[in-house]
């Protein structure tokens, strides 16, 4: 193997600086220094007001680069506070938004927004409300360490290299892409209500969308020149977990395909990644489950073999339905069967309005009026949702909802050159984000129905199933989504 490129000679990124999260030389995360390091402007200005609620949402306004003409960046009071629940934990330095719903009541931090809060934010989720799935403590990385972050790329390649973030910025085309990340456990609560799975309960807000800025993984792989025999690309984070660092892998053929959109990202919604989301560098894998988007990324290896990381095998699997949690715990071979791995997301949708337990006051509504039922939908592997159907008679009949894809406006703004890099996304049918749907239902129907049900289909004609596919990990739950209708009158 040839020696690594001498691009960088800095400290080990995985060595914590201090227990407070701020080194003596470093400035920490949330100082104004960060703003001087913002990437060059990349938001299509016409999209700002429509897609990002700048004025009504202080935590989002904080994320708008000042170079776009917003003179004052309001102090984000919410996300600069340490939550009392974190005080006695290793994350006692990580600012978190009090609106996030903590899913386990213990460390590590795993949280989602309330579905209504998430939905009303619109297409782009503010970082403070972006769902969090951590398997352990957040690695302590201050600004100094981030500036010297080393990403080692090695293994079966002719030109192993260690990159700093500056190296990545300088050597490769910088792109910004909206991507929806979805936890494989999204909607697991419904499975746990049927039979407790191995995982904790997520509602239907285990997904979020951000503008990620970074470089295409495909460009980096071309640079290091993969050798014959390399079939997998293994990614490793630097979190210190009981069974070793978090890691997983991709097929090399997928990772090299720019249309799959895999990125090494350092910014989210115009600011450096938040600690919970992988500061200073993460992998972003559009269209696949969130578990493939490795945070705090420190190592990439080209290999003949898939990742051997503990959680690559022991997580993110849909085991066959007859295998219960006890059997899965006792018999390890289930986890090592390659047939049960999850890569692409499956097709899914949810109703955000009316919400579960919301009580509708229809008294002021005339008999001829309608009630707007609303929600989100997504599909995996870059596929598009082609229809959303809503039923008020438990699936005997269906009505077609209107779908909007805000992602299309990003393409249409002709930002393809500067935003998407040399891949012309305006011509691409690849979908990396969620879409929204609405259906006006007659008030008379709302008055009499007990429940509203939604399902969707994607362009491969995959349809959400009527029945739940219960499985030991409680993952990929995508049966019809139901909301009971509660009325005042
Ligand atoms: N990367 C590392 N290093 N450690 C982790 O615990 N969790 C994974 C993935 N990447 C994880 C990780 C899982 S299961 C998910 S769903 C996503 O990160 C969540 O990303 P987010 O917390 O930024 O929303």
Q: What is the pLDDT of residues 158-168, one digit of tens each?
A: 999 999 999 99
* 263 within ligand 1 shell (Cβ under 6 A): no
* 139 within ligand 1 shell (Cβ under 6 A): no
Give the full edge-to-edge strand order of the sheet including 435-442: 348-353, 370-378, 435-442, 402-404
* 183 within ligand 1 shell (Cβ under 6 A): yes
Compute the distance from residue 449 Cα to the ligand 1 centre, in Å: 39
ipTM > 0.95 for the complex: yes
Residue 195 near residue 328, CB atoms below 8 Å: no
Instruction: Determine the atom of ligand 1 nearest the C-alpha atom of 108.
Output: 6
* pLDDT score of 63 more than 70: no
Instruction: Determine the atom of ligand 1 nearest the C-alpha atom of 315.
Output: 14
* pLDDT score of 379 more than 80: yes
* 76 within ligand 1 shell (Cβ under 6 A): no
The residues with which 390 forms a beta bridge, in sequence order, are 399, 454
User: What is the rounded average pLDDT of the residues 465-480?
Assistant: 98
Per-residue pLDDT at 435: 96
* pLDDT score of 457 more than 80: yes
Per-residue pLDDT at 73: 30
The CA distance from 379 to 285, in Å, is: 14
Which residues are designated catalytic? 183, 315-316
Q: 77-114, pLDDT tens digit by residue? A: 345 678 899 999 999 999 999 999 999 999 999 999 99
Q: Of all protein residues, whose CA lies closest to atom 21 belonging to ligand 1?
A: 132
- pTM for the whole thing? 0.86
User: Is the pLDDT higher at 363 or at 478?
Assistant: 478
Query: What one-character-per-residue DSSP string does 2-69 give?
Result: PPPBTT-----TTS---TTS--SS---SSSTHHHHTPPSP-S-HHHHHHHS-TTT-HHHHTTS-GGGS
User: What is the rounded average pLDDT of the residues 364-383?
Assistant: 93
* 389 within ligand 1 shell (Cβ under 6 A): no
- What would you report as the CA-atom Rg of the chain, rounded to the nearest whole angstrom? 22
Residue 352 near residue 483, CB atoms below 8 Å: no
Compute the distance from residue 27 Cα to the ligand 1 centre, in Å: 25
* 135 within ligand 1 shell (Cβ under 6 A): yes
Residue 180 near residue 247, CB atoms below 8 Å: no
Task: Give me 398's structure tokens.
Answer: 């269906």
Per-residue pLDDT at 99: 93
Mean pLDDT for the chain? 84
Residue 114 near residue 205, CB atoms below 8 Å: yes
* pLDDT score of 414 more than 60: no
Q: Of all protein residues, whose CA lies closest to atom 10 belonging to ligand 1?
A: 294
Other residues' Cβ atoms within 10 Å of the Cβ of residue 340: 17
- Which of 306, 481, 299, 263 is closest to 377 using CA atoms? 481
Per-residue pLDDT at 417: 43
Of 84-88, 280-284, 303-307, 461-465, the poorest mean pLDDT is in 84-88
Residue 100 near residue 112, CB atoms below 8 Å: yes
Compute the distance from residue 368 Cα to the ligand 1 centre, in Å: 47
Q: How many CA atoms lie within 13 A of 336 on its CB side?
A: 6
First to last CA, the chain: 75
Q: Which of 118, 273, 293, 311 to mutate to test the pocket of ligand 1 (most atoms within 8 A of CB)?
A: 293
* 133 within ligand 1 shell (Cβ under 6 A): yes
Q: 259-298, pLDDT tens digit by residue? A: 899 999 999 888 899 999 999 999 999 999 999 999 999 9
Q: With cut-offs at 50, 70 and 90, classify the pLDDT of residue 186.
A: very high
The CA distance from 163 to 217, in Å, is: 13
* pLDDT score of 124 more than 50: yes
| Whole-number percent of the chain with pLDDT over 70 | 79
* 209 within ligand 1 shell (Cβ under 6 A): no
Query: What one-character-per-residue DSSP string does 350-380 give?
Result: EEEESPTTPEE--TTS-TT-EEEEEEEEE-S
Per-residue pLDDT at 96: 93
Instruction: Determine the atom of ligand 1 nearest the C-alpha atom of 297.
Output: 3
């Amino acid at each position: 193997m040839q020696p690594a490129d001498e691009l960088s000679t800095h400290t080990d990124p995985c060595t914590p600086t201090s227990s407070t999260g701020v080194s003596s030389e470093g400035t920490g995360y949330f100082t104004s220094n960060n703003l001087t390091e913002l990437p060059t402007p990349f938001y299509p200005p016409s999209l700002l007001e429509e897609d990002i609620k700048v004025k009504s949402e202080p935590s989002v306004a904080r994320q708008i680069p000042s170079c776009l003409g917003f003179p004052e960046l309001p102090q984000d009071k919410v996300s600069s506070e340490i939550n009392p629940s974190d005080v006695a934990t290793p994350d006692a330095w990580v600012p978190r938004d009090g609106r996030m719903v903590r899913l386990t009541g213990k460390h590590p931090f795993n949280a989602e927004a309330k579905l209504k809060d998430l939905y009303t934010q619109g297409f782009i989720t503010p970082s403070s409300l972006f769902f969090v799935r951590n398997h352990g403590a957040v690695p302590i990385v201050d600004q100094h360490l981030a500036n010297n972050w080393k990403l080692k790329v090695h293994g079966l390649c002719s030109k192993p290299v260690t990159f700093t973030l500056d190296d990545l910025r300088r050597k490769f085309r910088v792109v910004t892409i909206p991507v929806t990340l979805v936890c494989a456990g999204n909607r697991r609560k419904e499975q746990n209500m049927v039979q407790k799975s191995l995982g904790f309960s997520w509602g239907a807000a285990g997904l979020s969308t951000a503008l990620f800025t970074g470089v295409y993984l495909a460009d980096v792989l071309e640079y290091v020149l993969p050798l014959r025999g390399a079939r997998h690309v293994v990614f490793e984070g630097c979190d210190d977990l009981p069974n070793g660092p978090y890691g997983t892998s991709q097929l090399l053929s997928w990772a090299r395909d720019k249309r799959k959109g895999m990125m090494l990202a350092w910014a989210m919604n115009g600011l450096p990644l938040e600690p919970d989301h992988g500061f200073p560098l993460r992998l972003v894998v559009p269209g696949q489950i969130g578990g493939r988007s490795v945070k705090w990324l420190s190592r990439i290896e080209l290999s003949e073999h898939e990742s051997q990381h503990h959680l690559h095998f022991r997580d993110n699997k849909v085991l066959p339905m007859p295998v219960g949690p006890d059997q899965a715990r006792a018999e390890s071979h289930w986890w090592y069967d390659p047939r049960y791995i999850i890569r692409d997301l499956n097709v899914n949708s949810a109703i955000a309005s009316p919400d579960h337990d919301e009580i509708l006051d229809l008294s002021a509504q005339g008999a001829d009026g309608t009630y707007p039922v609303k929600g989100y939908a997504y599909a995996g592997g870059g596929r598009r949702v082609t229809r959303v159907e809503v039923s008020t008679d438990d699936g005997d009949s269906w009505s077609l909802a209107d779908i909007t894809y805000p992602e299309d406006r990003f393409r249409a703004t002709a930002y393809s050159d500067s935003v998407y890099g040399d891949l012309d996304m305006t011509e691409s049918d690849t979908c990396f984000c969620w879409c929204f749907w609405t259906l006006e239902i007659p008030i008379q129907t709302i008055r009499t129905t007990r429940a509203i049900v939604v399902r969707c289909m994607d362009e491969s004609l995959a349809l959400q199933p009527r029945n739940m596919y219960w499985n030991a990990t409680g993952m990929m739950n995508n049966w019809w989504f139901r909301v009971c209708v509660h009325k005042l009158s």
